[in-house]
A and B are shown apart, each in its own frame.
Chain A
Amino acid sequence: MIAISKRLAGLWPHGVCLLLALLVASTPARAADPAAFIDQLASKAIPVLTDSSLPKAEREAQFRRLMHEGLDVRQIAQLVTGRYWRQASEEQKQNLVKLLEDYLVQLYSARFTEYANVSLQVNGSRPEAEGTLVHSTLVRPNAPPVSLDWRVEEADGRHIITDLVVEGVSMVITQRSEFASVIRQGGGQVQALIDVLRRKVGA
């Protein structure tokens, strides 16, 4: 921690310059290029998520913050609930968004400590019908690399992630078919999904 704060202190003048540059520039820096956006997000995640000394609650909080930066949970909720989204009342929607956020935080943040020294290498990007697909490779020590593709869109002048594709498997599609299945088994009621999610996150 001390080392980090020292380094941060060293960065201070640069930070001021950057801030000025940002104020001058007409567009925000992060809206520049989807690939750079992913790269930047990854580099921001590193100091937080590799720190295995962080307590669980703290890491979850940090992850949550990064998640807000990288994606719009409400949009994800809409994507993964598909046609059931419109059937939901506003209150149910809000519940869904909140529970989904907790669920995602739980799903992803817990595993970050297991392997240290993992690197994300951004390889390139490709324009899609909507947004851009950013290709990257997760390189792990003593384990085979994993191909990760990020679907990135632009909204309100900033980039947001709308899907993560792991080795050809879309997280949104997987989640959506799982959620749809839960809802269908619950008699087509969105409430069924909310209940199951609530049980899962223990809220």
Chain B
Amino acid sequence: MTVLRRCRLVVCMTVLTASLSGCAMFISDPEERAEVIEANDPIEGVNRHIFAVNLALDTFILRPVSVVYREFMPDPGKDMVRNFVHNLKLPFTAINDLLQGEPDRAETAMSRFLVNSTMGVGGLFDAATGLGLDYHEEDFGQTLAVHGSEEGPYLMLPIFGPSNLRDAIGLVVQFFADPVGIAANEAGADDFGLITGGMEAVDSRHRHAESFDTLQRQSLDFYAAVRSLYRQRRAAEINNYQSDAVPTTPIASAAGERTETMAFSGVEPISAHDPTSVTGSLAGTTSDVAPAEAAPGIAAGPMMAEAPTVRAPQRAMPHQLAPTAATPEAQIAALPEDTRRNVPSTRVDATAIGHKSMPEEAEARGPRQMVSHRSMEPAPFSREPDRMESFADAMRAFDDAARSFDEMTGSSFR
């Protein structure tokens, strides 16, 4: 059974990463260790290869398709696609709401699902937002996080994009537990998840096209940029939940209410949701690898991209997005000020890496002599990994990835 084989692959990867994740504590130089901990990427070599494969898929499949989609799909059609895909995520979101101890949000999600599935003609139209039933998303990775699970090592998943051990487990759980997927299976619609996953991937790629392309073009190391963005975003979502009430001093109205006109779109392309979501939203483009039912819900990108609302406390409802503003930024921005205050403390991190030593406890824990560099050094690339200029580049990326996987596991993956 192909499903079994997929599961075996996931388990194999899981064990592999779990066994490698501990090596950071053996690094004797505290600053280097801080850097390794910040990257949280013990299997960087394999991850980079998979990233190259994802990039190849993006360049030669997802991006062209999304460009055609952008050109030829009329705007109302695009909205319908997104409404439809979003609607199907709601039952699993509701389950996660419940698991996170938020029955109110679960009720909102289910009400929305019922309203849009009926009045909204199977989810094609959004009738619920007008009734105050705003959209939000939950995934099982976040549920795990809420219950105290650590993120585990960073993982670049084929097709699904950036993730980590915890979120990858969340994907597996969703694969088996998503009611929509189960229902589709029961009904014999095996490709249903694949199709909706593909729709979501294309929709999301099109919505984030500029940001993604800009980031890809301008970053010095695209892989590292995506990794950092993913980790920060994910952390922000989870912390949002925990640090509801950071006091903010409102400034004098003279300054506070003044609104200046300035062209300042420069910040957007660097924001997190875009790159990762796109890389992530490769879900569904390659049919063979994407588990059928799971594909729509678990595309790492979209999930991550829109998750900010997710953990945003339930009271946020009245502020939340209108149908026109359903992009991630809007959702976050629509939240009450104090719920989305979670700003990484650069200064602290910077000093940890730059000048000061790590906490003593970490020091005390591990033997200091050996440094395992094996997983730190990315396997050498024959070319710039972030560039996919020809089809041959793409094929080479596939080949490299397969070879590196073979080397790591001693198996014959190819």
Contact = CB atoms under 8 A, between A and B. Distances in A.
Contacts of A79: 346, 350, 354
B258 A39 contact: yes
A119 B225 contact: no
B247 A169 contact: no
A21 B237 CA distance: 46
Contacts of A127: 249
A43 B260 CA distance: 6
Given A82-B31, A145-B329, A151-B346, A169 B220 contact: no
Provide the main secondary structure of the chain A interface: mixed
A151 to B, nearest CB: 6
Contacts of A174: 225, 228-229, 232, 270
Contacts of A131: 347
A118 B39 contact: no
Interface stretch (A4-12, A22-30, A45-53): A45-53
B249 A167 contact: no
Interface in A94-119: 106-119
A178 B345 contact: no
What range describes how many residues of B lie at the interface?
35 or more
B278 to A, nearest CB: 15
Contacts of B334: 144
A158 interface: no
Contacts of A112: 262-266
A196 interface: yes
B329 A117 contact: no
Interface string A67-110: 00000000000110011010000000000000000000011111
A35 B346 CA distance: 19
B348 interface: yes
A139 B264 CA distance: 9
A189 interface: no
A191 interface: no
B141 to A, nearest CB: 17
B78 to A, nearest CB: 15
A31 interface: no
Given A138-B267, A197-B220, A178 B261 contact: no
A124 B264 contact: no
B341 A83 contact: no
B352 to A, nearest CB: 9
Interface string B227-258: 11100110111001000001111111001111
Interface string B285-321: 0000000000000000000000010000000000001
Nearest to B223: A181
Q: Which of B38, B235, B240, B268 has the most CB atoms of chain A within a 10 A radius of its CB?
A: B268
A127 B257 CA distance: 20
B3 interface: no
Given A49-B262, A79-B350, A178-B221, A164 B267 contact: yes
B220 A165 contact: no
Given A82-B354, A135-B248, A115 B263 contact: yes
Interface of A: 33, 35-36, 39, 42-43, 45-46, 49-50, 52, 78-79, 82-83, 85, 106-131, 133, 135, 137-140, 143-149, 151, 162-174, 176-182, 184-185, 193, 196-197, 200
Q: Please list the 4 inter-chain residue pairs (A to B) with the smallest Cβ-Cβ separation, ordered nearest first.
A: A144-B330, A168-B236, A181-B224, A82-B353
Given A144-B329, A177-B228, A184-B376, 13 more contacts: A78-B354, A83-B34, A114-B263, A131-B347, A137-B333, A167-B332, A168-B233, A172-B350, A173-B344, A173-B346, A177-B227, A180-B224, A182-B220
